[in-house]
């Protein structure tokens, strides 16, 4: 239901934008004052937990898939500058009843995010140049290893739906698993079929304890859509 309302709100915004001139193209949508690298970073940190955008590497499923949502309007002749305006307006003024809060980003960050999304949305391929290295790949950290019964598996600091480590190991027995979350996006740590830690953000720590027997376990974030978006890993106990 929530995703249906989000799609309806986005469709209404595009329809309203259609009353304006449908100008602009992908080459000119970014202005000289725009910082697309900052736009990508802000989008990943503030918006990626809810929205899928392939070029940004985000897989959020709570809100609409932006690539899919804008593909038809772009094919129908809506210019990317129109997309830019729609994205900026949706950030500033989400439709009433939407789960998305207003002003997730502020000031120049709004125009940077809108410019980045409008530039890359519904495009194939990957970002290049500085944009390619703007965000560290999710889950690219070293495997986490338990020490003296304590195992740290932190959330990605950029706000991506990922843990820093997607692989972890521990010896059998009582293990305390902690997850620090430095980002603003709420996360927790949970074991499949086991305990779930407190949902935390902004520097909070989620933790669980379990008596683990040898075998393979799945750890994940239980916040809606986060596991599906890629916030999951494998814990090997031996």
> Could you tell me the domains of the chain?
2-132 (1.10.760.10), 144-237 (2.60.40.420)
State whether the Cα torsion 127-133-135-137 is positive or negative.
Answer: positive
Cβ 137 vs Cβ 57: under 8 Å: yes
Scanning the structure block, which residue is given the tokens 């309007």?
A: 73
Per-residue pLDDT of the chain (238 residues; tens, 9 = 90+): 344 444 455 555 554 444 343 433 444 688 999 999 999 999 999 999 999 999 999 999 889 999 999 999 999 999 999 999 999 999 999 887 677 888 889 999 999 999 999 999 999 999 999 999 999 888 788 999 999 999 999 999 988 999 999 999 999 999 999 999 999 899 999 999 989 999 999 999 999 999 999 999 999 999 999 999 999 999 999 9
Rg (CA), the chain: 20
State whether the Cα torsion 72-74-77-83 is positive or negative.
Answer: positive
Question: What is the spatial distance between Cα 35 and Cα 115, in angstroms, rounded to a whole number?
Answer: 8
**Closest-CA residue to 172 (of 216, 206, 142):** 216
Taking the model in full, what pTM does it have?
Answer: 0.79
Tokens of 18: 């259609």
């Amino acid at each position: 239901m929530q995703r249906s309302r989000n799609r309806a709100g986005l469709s209404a915004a595009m329809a309203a934008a259609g009353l304006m001139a449908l100008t602009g193209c992908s080459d000119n949508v970014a202005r000289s004052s725009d910082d697309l690298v900052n736009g990508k970073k802000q989008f990943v940190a503030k918006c990626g937990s809810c929205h899928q955008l392939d070029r940004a590497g985000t897989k959020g499923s709570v809100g609409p898939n932006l690539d899919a949502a804008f593909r038809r309007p772009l094919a129908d002749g809506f210019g990317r500058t129109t997309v830019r305006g729609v994205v900026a307006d949706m950030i500033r003024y989400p439709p009433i009843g939407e789960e998305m809060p207003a002003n997730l980003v502020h000031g120049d960050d709004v125009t940077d995010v809108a410019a980045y999304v409008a530039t890359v949305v519904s495009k194939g391929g990957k970002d290049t140049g500085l944009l390619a290295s703007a965000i560290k790949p999710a889950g690219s950290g070293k495997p986490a290893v338990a020490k003296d019964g304590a195992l740290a598996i932190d959330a990605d600091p950029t706000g991506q739906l990922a843990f820093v480590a997607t692989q972890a190991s521990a010896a059998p027995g009582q293990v305390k698993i902690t997850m620090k979350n430095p980002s603003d996006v709420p996360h927790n740590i949970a074991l499949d079929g086991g305990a779930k830690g407190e949902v935390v953000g902004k520097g909070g720590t989620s933790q669980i304890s379990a008596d683990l027997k040898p075998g393979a376990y799945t750890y994940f974030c239980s916040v809606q859509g986060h596991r599906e978006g890629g916030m999951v890993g494998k814990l090997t106990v031996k």
